[in-house]
Structure 1
């Protein structure tokens, strides 16, 4: 009978392609991980990895073995985690990725209530505007928009991802004749450059009646972050196209107002992502249900809708 630790070392090494990285995630030494895998290979009588100085690669036998054991291994691991929960309550380190500003504005304020409800959970929250490898990097969940949905990951929609045009009241006082999308052609624009591709996307504007129009703003400057674009627009530097959740505090304070309020850009959804398991760890289930509950209670989907 193979030990659980040997199979765990094999599965983690296969996931990340490195004994050293697997060792870091398992809080072991690379030598211990390599020894466990070598012992497993010796007992099975097959080579599971092709080893090189750069990366581990599964052999045909190794891939077949991984396909057979990975699902059962995860089920056992999650069962152990749930059984080990403090007094039957969800427990353990909760590793979550979320956008920097979105997380700070809308998720971090929920932390006190979440920990009061689940005191045995230890948040390990990562703030990054880039998509993460949910399974490969060991995240329990992620919050964001525009994620590719790999096999084994599910998405629960939290809110529409709408972008809106905003400007400072003083700027609009100097440019009072913005009544149609065509009027934007002569306006200084503060546009968003994708941090992933480096390109400024050509967004179409959508009207409340679902008709569309091209968005043609004269580029005055570009930013890679909607919150920074809001701060620039607040100074009266132009019309900014920004994600609505980032604009909400400025709109509520009156330092920015919407331009062409019947028009917006539809950028999909902001969703909660997590790995699909027959037996979801209690800490992950608690977080998913809590976030969905809070978004419904606070009406955030309605606040983030431009329609």
Structure 2
């Protein structure tokens, strides 16, 4: 198979597969993980990267038995092509659909509170721009199997990244301690996470494991401390925790995204504001970077642009206090 194709000027254009193999390997520090994300074998990814290095005449990675590390030339090359690669892939997908308007049923899984608060309000604009899309949106508190259950996309965290599934980070998933002003009236606010145990606790029992969720909080300096709330009230849904806290029934550990509207309105106040727990990331999941259906590409771009324009990653960051 030809590695280069002549351009009009007589120069050569590098294979897209080689470029994507390089970028994914750089992102994950592993040929194996890059292959899993691209539905290729580690050997195929390694071969693609080696061909790219040979064609460019530079070494892009320092290789060891444990991890790949970019060389100086590799880092410069990654910075030069990473943003352009997605644009090229989007153009390929658009060409494959013949430029047709995005259409069809768009099946998406969304966590209830985040989905209702931040994503559902984006739907009128999306449908005005793409009127042939037919939303089928499921608001559910579970990681779905995109391929087996026929979802075009999902938003959330903790999904298993089976081969071919892409996770695009939208914002941090930070957990903060909150209570209502009415509940805290007359009480001395705790000065660190250990002090939360003196308050009535609104806690959640995880539906899948049956266990009470426990968190370890950290501060900007990297100090860590367990945050132990008494099991005064036990629920099985994050929205129920938030509503119970708004009713003045005690303190709760909530995702900052779920708590933000009430914090901004004054319905809740943040406790130990220098501390937060890190639950990973809120990500947008879909089946492949290349040759996405137009409806999925439209949704991915619409949501990503909205999270950026509304600065939700910054607003969700519990580390900002």
Q: Is the structural similarity TM-score above 0.5?
A: yes
CA contact (8 A) 1:227 1:247 kept: no
1:104-124 C-alpha deviation (Å, 9 max, x unpaired): 111110011111111111111
CA contact (8 A) 1:158 1:292 kept: yes
The reply on whether 1:82 has 2:97 as its aligned counterpart is: yes
Match of 2:283 in 1: 271
Where in structure 1 do 4 or more consecutive aligned residues deviate above 2 Å?
78-83
CA contact (8 A) 1:192 1:242 kept: no
1:251-283 C-alpha deviation (Å, 9 max, x unpaired): 122111000000111000010000015311111
Give the superposed CA RMSD: 2.0
Match of 2:246 among 234, 252, 260: 234
1:185-207 C-alpha deviation (Å, 9 max, x unpaired): 22111112212211112210111
Once the two structures are TM-superposed, the CA of residue 90 in structure 1 deviates from its matched residue by 1.2
Once the two structures are TM-superposed, the CA of residue 88 in structure 1 deviates from its matched residue by 2.0
Match of 1:134 in 2: 146
Distance in structure 1 (CA, Å) of the matches to 2:215 and 2:172: 16
Distance in structure 2 (CA, Å) of the matches to 1:181 and 1:127: 32
3-state SS of the aligned residue for 2:206?
A: coil
1:131-158 C-alpha deviation (Å, 9 max, x unpaired): 1110011111001111111111010000
CA contact (8 A) 1:165 1:240 kept: yes
Pair 1:160–1:136, CA change in 2 (3 A)? same
CA contact (8 A) 1:159 1:270 kept: yes
Using structure 2 for the length normalisation, give the TM-score. 0.67
Structure 1, gaps ≥5 residues long: 1-77
Structure 2, gaps ≥5 residues long: 1-92
Match of 1:292 in 2: 304
Distance in structure 2 (CA, Å) of the matches to 1:129 and 1:177: 31
Distance in structure 1 (CA, Å) of the matches to 2:126 and 2:191: 45
The reply on whether 1:144 has 2:156 as its aligned counterpart is: yes
Once the two structures are TM-superposed, the CA of residue 82 in structure 1 deviates from its matched residue by 2.7
| Matched ranges for 1:50-89 at <5 A | 82-83=97-98, 88-89=100-101
Distance in structure 1 (CA, Å) of the matches to 2:189 and 2:299: 47
Task: Decide which moves more: 232-241 or 290-299.
Answer: 232-241
- Greater radius of gyration (CA): 1
Match of 2:37 in 1: none
CA contact (8 A) 1:81 1:281 kept: no
Once the two structures are TM-superposed, the CA of residue 80 in structure 1 deviates from its matched residue by 11
The reply on whether 1:106 has 2:118 as its aligned counterpart is: yes
3-state SS of the aligned residue for 2:148?
A: coil
Pair 1:284–1:195, CA change in 2 (3 A)? same
Distance in structure 2 (CA, Å) of the matches to 1:129 and 1:153: 19
Aligned residues: 228
